[in-house]
Structure 1
Amino acid sequence: MTHSKLKAGEVAGTYHVTAPVTEADIISMAKRFARRRLAKGRKITQPSQAFEHLQLLLQDYEHEVFSVLFLDSQHRVIRFEEMFRGTIDAASVYPREVLKAALAYNAAAVILVHNHPSGDPKPSDADRRITQRLKEALGLMEIRVIDHVVVGSEGHVSFAELGIL
């Protein structure tokens, strides 16, 4: 898909499609906008602001992907990084590696996110355990875990909204 099929509208955030587009083109455009919304320097004032973008970026994988949104002390995005890839129903997550990355980026806070290829975003017991381990490891370095979001084609679930963080 080329940018020539999309032209900025007169009102900020609006666009005109200037040529026929396929469904794949539309999905590609949406993912590009989602990445832009999670780009360095963007402020995340409400974690829910990031949920749609995270869901769009991760829901189509056929395997689990565990990612981290690293934030500064003002909750501006430092980096969004896919850290671990797994199988259709599990991904090995290493708290040491997440902590190393958080320290390397000088992050003050993180939003954890992973997908469920099944489509059902309901957190598993393993999801709850790794969240607690990550919260403890990052907490030792005073890095806050703001949320852990599980995404799937059927929606997303926020640990913070469930009150289990």
Structure 2
Amino acid sequence: MNEKNLSSPLINETKAGEDCDDLTLLSEVEIKYKPEVKPKDRPRVTMAMEAYKLIKPFFEGCLYHHEEAWVMLLNTSCKVLGVARLSVGNQEHTIIDPRTTLQLMVKTNAVNLIIFHNHPSQSLAFSPEDIKITKNMMKACKLLNMNCLDHIIVGEDGYSSYSEEGY
């Protein structure tokens, strides 16, 4: 790319030190001190929502057929380092092993992770086993100064987040 393509037209047309006499080339800016949309009415974008958008394509072939568990590995700034499939299960369950997950985190130098899995029934409710697995993963991560930020159940039309549900 050349530098000229990155500059705005106004900068390209005027030379350094010249005044711009044609004010029609300038944009008008309006500042409002009272926004029309109140903070409570603004759409709330959460980490879980953003993570769901990124991970959902990985579940395309299995959403209704069988359970799969995936992890998103993140650095200290919560930038995505990568995703990895932990396991492929059957209609009722899949395995999320803390040892395997922590091994992936250490190998990729990840500090944070988010666990994902689907329910072929499309129920977005956390089962008692899902809650137990998440608590165990959080404890295991804490031992190594790592964080399990969330566990998200992926569905066709939405998701359920462990952290947003307040478990």
Scaled by the length of structure 1, the TM-score of the pair is 0.68
The answer to whether the 8 A contact 1:59-1:119 is kept is no
In the other structure, the counterpart of 1:137 is 140
- Could you tell me which runs of 5 or more consecutive residues in structure 2 were left unpaired when the two chains were aligned: 1-45
Deviation of the 1:46 alpha carbon: 2.5
In the other structure, the counterpart of 2:76 is 73
SS at match of 2:113: strand
Choose between structure 1 and 2: higher strand proportion.
1
Q: Deviations over 1:49-104 (max 9, x none)?
A: 12133234325401111110000001111111111111111012211111111111
In the other structure, the counterpart of 1:39 is none
Correspondence list, 1:5-84, <5 A: 46-58=47-59, 60-61=61-62, 62-84=65-87
Deviation of the 1:126 alpha carbon: 0.4
Q: Post-superposition, which runs of at least 4 consecutive aligned residues in structure 1 deviate over 6 A?
A: none
Q: How many residues align?
A: 120
Identity %: 28
Counterparts in 2 of 1:59 and 1:150: CA distance versus 1, 3 Å: farther
CA distance in 2, matches of 1:80, 1:90: 20
In the other structure, the counterpart of 2:114 is 111
Counterparts in 2 of 1:59 and 1:162: CA distance versus 1, 3 Å: farther
SS at match of 2:94: coil
Q: Aligned letter for 1:132?
A: K
CA distance in 2, matches of 1:116, 1:57: 14
CA distance in 1, matches of 2:166, 2:92: 24
Q: Deviations over 1:94-138 (max 9, x none)?
A: 111111111111111001111111111111110000001111111
Aligned-CA RMSD value: 1.5
